[in-house]
Amino acid sequence: MDKINLQKLKKLNNQYAVNVVEEAIQLCKPAKVTVITDSKEDITYVRELALATGEEKKLKMEGHTVHFDSYYDQGRDKANTKYLLYKDVDWGLGVNYIEKEKGLKEIYSFLDGSMRGKEMIVRFFSLGPINSVFSLKALQITDSAYVAHSEDILYRLGYEEFKRLNGSNEFFFFLHSAGRLENGVSADVDKRRIYIDLEENKVYSVNNQYAGNSLGLKKLAFRLAINKAQNEGWLAEHMFIMGVHGPENRVTYFTGAFPSACGKTSTAMIPGQTIIGDDIAYLIKIDGKVRAVNVESGIFGIIRDVNEEDDPLIYHALTTPRELIFSNVLIKEGKPYWMGMKKEIPDNGINFSGEWYKGKKDKDGNKIDPSHKNSRFTLRLNALKNIDPKADDPAGVPIKAIIYGGRDSDITVPIAESLTWEHGVFLGAIIESETTAATIGAQGVRKHNPMANLDFVSVPFMTYIKNHFRFKSGLKEVPKIYAVNYFLKDENGNYLTGKIYNKLWILWAEGRVNGEYKAIETPIGRIPKYEDLKTLFIRELNKDYTKAEYQKQFFLKLKKYLEKMEMMSKIFENIEMPAAFTEELKAQTERLRETRAKFGEDIISPFQFLDI
């Protein structure tokens, strides 16, 4: 490290930070080390470096660049993401672990000399708003200018924040190397490893570039934060935060957890509402109320199906000059194309497989799409016209409702309000979803995904769920909890609800939170009354919502729900769970059984409950 850079590091008055950087230099052996402060010059340097190394390429539109990940590095690598632990532990959900000494030895051997001939970037960020009780600090070391640039778009600057640490080692530390590059992408993906050291708050990541694997600040910091939160009594969740806009300028803040590629961004972007964040939130109790902040300040969003008609605000941001990165889309003559953009896509160009032409197949004979299903855009939130004015408020926003959403084609109703906080925690813990392109491996496999957090929980599941039940204590205002499902299908496999309907479910919940609507009490929770939805459909969509449609969407499929409970009993049979959870599961099953006995039917129309 030269004098100037060392000086920048020393100015932080943090010996621990100096030590970890020096250790990383010794291990990775970079040709050059650059420390990035919050200054404009330093930040511009990173942006330009990403172009100079070829990790990003300029597009026609000013500020736009494209980045490609390896053909085999297009989603999170769950199999090679492991906790460094001393012995095999039982976390209930099946934890991916490697014995610490062995894991460190392996990853050190991959990191050894990984930055030879390359430049090491050292960056400081804040997870959460600047100067806020919510926020954590993070140090990222990487040899990827794309990673360092992405984090600049997605997180708040933290060099000055680090000074506030007063020398403490209370920060997260991420060491990443993209490893050997071929044509600008990680070449040794078979040696891709992401190892998490919860004791040291450190994560090592090597031989990858896809943001979910490489960016320390995103899902890697999230795992560390979940662990920290349990010990300190707050919640780190896979949640969006949004302002829901009711009548007469009323704004009510919601958070919502949906598994990857299951609706966080699309919910936070519902027309007429305001967005605070779309992926990771920290929730803390302050003065008896739940408050939350967005950990991030940008969106790493799925680009598929983003088009002028369905997502006008994101589409506008993606098609006007500004700093943004497209990843794994198709490029032709300096213009980006992706599936579902509702524009003609060229028959050839450059994409995540290199030179692409229509009909191209990979070496396994699979047809290659023009853009990857998990291709994304990296954009600052303030590029969106619907950003909420409190998006950067260090005090966060008060949360009145929490939504849990799964991807379920044949059981769960579009929206139900939990009967109690405990019932809501239970509904969150039994979310199921089908796997998507956001992770490597088979798609469409139905999996239990509690709180949409299965991939990220870094404590025993018992501890994690207990923390949710316990979170209620001391609250003067307990948020209402909703379970939603946007993915119900009819017998022909067609979606029963359009994306535009999501607005109605959310606005109904907003009304409920503010005491406006009565609801129908069913064994699985409170559902909207037909009349209220009908009024909302006319007011918001100018659409005649028929009784038949309502009935189809809100039919209570007792048999299927009971089967689901049976499956949950099996899943949790061998997992130690808090008593509150076991009680909820039992009570839920009993309510369903009683209802079936009472009506003598497996499927019940929501109208039948009105007659009770």
Residues belonging to the active site: 262
Q: How many CA atoms lie less than 13 Å away from 45 in the CB half-sphere?
A: 15
Residue 20 vs 303, nearer CB to ligand SPV: 303
Residue 296 binds to Mn ion (criterion: CB under 5 A): no
Instruction: Select from Mn ion, ligand GTP, ligand SPV, none the partner in contact with residue 218, using the beta carbon and a kind-dependent cut-off of 5 to 8 Å.
Output: ligand SPV
Cβ 153 to ligand SPV, closest distance in Å?
13
Q: Which of 258, 426, 461, 550 binds ligand GTP (CB under 6 A)?
A: 258
Question: What does the alpha-carbon distance between residue 135 and residue 398 come to, in Å, rounded to a whole number?
Answer: 16
- How many of the chain's residues bind ligand GTP (CB under 6 A)? 20
Residue 219 binds to ligand GTP (criterion: CB under 6 A): no
Residue 311 vs 584, nearer CB to Mn ion: 311
Residue 86 vs 495, nearer CB to ligand GTP: 495
Token pair in block for residue 505: 């479910």
Q: Residues 6 or more apart from 453 whose CB is under 8 A from it?
A: 226, 237, 238, 257, 464
H/E run at residue 428: helix 421-429
Taking CB under 5 A as the rule, which mask of x and - marks residues 205-244 in contact with Mn ion?
----------------------------------------
Q: Which span sits near ligand GTP by CB under 6 A: 355-363, 495-503, 550-558, 567-575? A: 495-503
Within a 10 A sphere around the Cβ of 358, how many other Cβ atoms?
A: 11
Cβ 267 to ligand GTP, closest distance in Å?
7
Question: What does the alpha-carbon distance between residue 486 and residue 482 come to, in Å, rounded to a whole number?
Answer: 13
Residue 298 binds to ligand GTP (criterion: CB under 6 A): no
Q: Which of 124, 486, 561, 572 binds ligand GTP (CB under 6 A)?
A: 486
H helices within 307-409, ranges in order? 312-318
Query: Contact at 8 Å (CB) between 402 and 235?
Result: no
Q: Which span sits near ligand GTP by CB under 6 A: 55-63, 389-397, 494-502, 541-549? A: 494-502
Q: Residues 6 or more apart from 184 whose CB is under 8 A from it?
A: 53, 54, 55, 68
Residue 279 binds to Mn ion (criterion: CB under 5 A): yes
Q: Which of 149, 264, 400, 423 binds ligand GTP (CB under 6 A)?
A: 264
Question: What does the alpha-carbon distance between residue 262 and residue 127 come to, in Å, rounded to a whole number?
Answer: 24
Q: Which of 14, 207, 260, 274 binds ligand GTP (CB under 6 A)?
A: 260
Q: Which residue has the tokens 């070829």?
A: 54
Instruction: Select from ligand SPV, ligand GTP, Mn ion, none the partner in contact with residue 212, using the beta carbon and a kind-dependent cut-off of 5 to 8 Å.
Output: ligand SPV
Residue 361 vs 489, nearer CB to ligand GTP: 489
Taking CB under 6 A as the rule, which mask of x and - marks residues 416-455 in contact with ligand GTP?
----------------------x-----------------
DSSP 110: H
Q: Which span sits near Mn ion by CB under 5 A: 58-66, 274-282, 326-334, 344-352? A: 274-282
Instruction: Select from ligand SPV, ligand GTP, Mn ion, none the partner in contact with residue 460, using the beta carbon and a kind-dependent cut-off of 5 to 8 Å.
Output: none
Cβ 146 to ligand SPV, closest distance in Å?
14
* Alpha carbon separation from 612 to 210, 219, 327, 595 (Å, rounded): 54, 47, 54, 11
Number of H helices, E strands in the chain: 18, 35
Q: Which of 70, 132, 213, 265 binds ligand GTP (CB under 6 A)?
A: 265
Residue 273 vs 436, nearer CB to ligand SPV: 436
Residue 144 vs 439, nearer CB to ligand GTP: 439
Residue of 585, 383, 401, 409 lying closest to 485 (CA atoms): 409
Return the axis-axis angle of helices 579-599 and 461-470, rounded to nearest 10°. 80
Residue 474, phi-psi category: left (phi > 0), alpha (psi -120 to 50), beta (remainder): left
Question: What does the alpha-carbon distance between residue 110 and residue 414 come to, in Å, rounded to a whole number?
Answer: 47
Q: Which residue has the tokens 């640490």?
A: 165
Phi/psi of residue 249, each to 5°?
60, 20
Residue 278 binds to ligand GTP (criterion: CB under 6 A): yes
Q: Which residue has the tokens 């490697």?
A: 98
Q: Which residue has the tokens 């290659």?
A: 368
| Strand 172-177 versus strand 202-206 pairing type | parallel
Nearest residue to ligand SPV, using CB? 212
Instruction: Select from Mn ion, ligand GTP, ligand SPV, none the partner in contact with residue 76, using the beta carbon and a kind-dependent cut-off of 5 to 8 Å.
Output: ligand SPV
Cβ 176 to ligand SPV, closest distance in Å?
14
Residue 327 vs 588, nearer CB to ligand SPV: 327
Residue 34 vs 433, nearer CB to ligand GTP: 433
Instruction: Select from ligand SPV, Mn ion, ligand GTP, none the partner in contact with residue 486, using the beta carbon and a kind-dependent cut-off of 5 to 8 Å.
Output: ligand GTP
Residue 495 binds to ligand GTP (criterion: CB under 6 A): yes
Instruction: Select from ligand SPV, Mn ion, ligand GTP, none the partner in contact with residue 304, using the beta carbon and a kind-dependent cut-off of 5 to 8 Å.
Output: ligand GTP
DSSP 56: S
Question: What does the alpha-carbon distance between residue 55 and residue 66 come to, in Å, rounded to a whole number?
Answer: 8
Cβ 76 to ligand SPV, closest distance in Å?
5
Within a 10 A sphere around the Cβ of 193, how many other Cβ atoms?
A: 22
Instruction: Select from ligand SPV, Mn ion, ligand GTP, none the partner in contact with residue 265, using the beta carbon and a kind-dependent cut-off of 5 to 8 Å.
Output: ligand GTP
DSSP 482: E
Instruction: Select from Mn ion, ligand GTP, ligand SPV, none the partner in contact with residue 369, using the beta carbon and a kind-dependent cut-off of 5 to 8 Å.
Output: none
Cβ 332 to ligand GTP, closest distance in Å?
22
Question: What does the alpha-carbon distance between residue 236 and residue 221 come to, in Å, rounded to a whole number?
Answer: 10
Compute the residue count for the chain: 612
Residue of 439, 391, 392 lying closest to 273 (CA atoms): 391
Cβ 260 to Mn ion, closest distance in Å?
5
The alpha carbon of residue 466 and the mean position of all alpha carbons in its chain are separated, in whole angstroms, by 22
Residue of 196, 139, 220, 137 lying closest to 173 (CA atoms): 139
Token pair in block for residue 514: 């503010």
Residues that bind Mn ion (CB under 5 A): 260, 279
Q: Which residues bind ligand GTP (CB under 6 A)?
A: 258, 260-266, 278-279, 301-302, 304-305, 438, 486-487, 495, 499, 502
